[in-house]
């Protein structure tokens, strides 16, 4: 599977909301919490983990901990599976490729001057 650079799961990012700041929780969570946040059954999350979509950020089996922000990645894979009729392995691969495209587009945008062209 494709290696993706990951941020420290213990980092807490400060987000400015109006005149106050709120902390985005970056602490690792158990699979049940991650499943609930992604809107999936824990068994489905475990299947995606076995296929390599996610790697535990800490803890040991059976109580492995995962980055909280992985819920979006899980939800994306589940949507690909449901909407495009992909099998689980195909949904994982497509999700990883889309994440890589997002990463490359973000890197490219730092080097390209803004243009007024529309696609």
Q: Give pLDDT tens digits for 38-82.
A: 999 999 999 999 999 988 887 666 678 888 889 999 999 999 999
pLDDT, greater one: 100 or 14: 100
Q: How confident is the model at residue 5 (pLDDT cuts 50, 70, 90)?
A: very low
The Cα 84–Cα 99 span in angstroms is 17
Query: What pLDDT does 3 receive?
Result: 42
Give me the pLDDT at residue 59, please: 64
Res 57: pLDDT: 80
Q: What percent of the chain has pLDDT over 90?
A: 52
CB 54 within 8 A of CB 74: yes
In this predicted structure, what is the pLDDT of residue 56? 83
CATH number of 22-111: 1.10.1660.10
Q: What is the pLDDT at residue 9?
A: 33
The pTM for the full model equals 0.66
* CA angle, residues 26, 29, 31, in degrees to nearest 5: 140
CA 106, 107, 113: angle at the middle one, nearest 5?
90
Count of beta carbons in the 10 Å neighbourhood of residue 117: 5
Of the candidates 8, 82, 3, 88, the one whose C-alpha atom is nearest the C-alpha of residue 45 is: 88
């Amino acid at each position: 599977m494709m290696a993706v650079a990951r941020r420290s799961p213990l980092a807490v990012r400060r987000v400015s909301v109006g005149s106050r700041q709120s902390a985005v929780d970056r602490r690792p969570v158990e699979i049940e919490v991650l499943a609930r946040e992604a809107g999936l059954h824990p068994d489905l999350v475990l299947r995606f983990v076995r296929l390599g979509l996610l790697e535990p950020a800490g803890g040991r089996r059976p109580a492995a901990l995962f980055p909280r922000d992985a819920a979006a990645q899980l939800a994306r894979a589940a949507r690909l599976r449901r909407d495009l009729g992909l099998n689980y392995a195909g949904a994982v691969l497509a999700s990883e490729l889309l994440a890589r495209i997002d990463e490359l587009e973000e890197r490219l945008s730092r080097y390209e001057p803004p243009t007024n062209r529309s696609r």
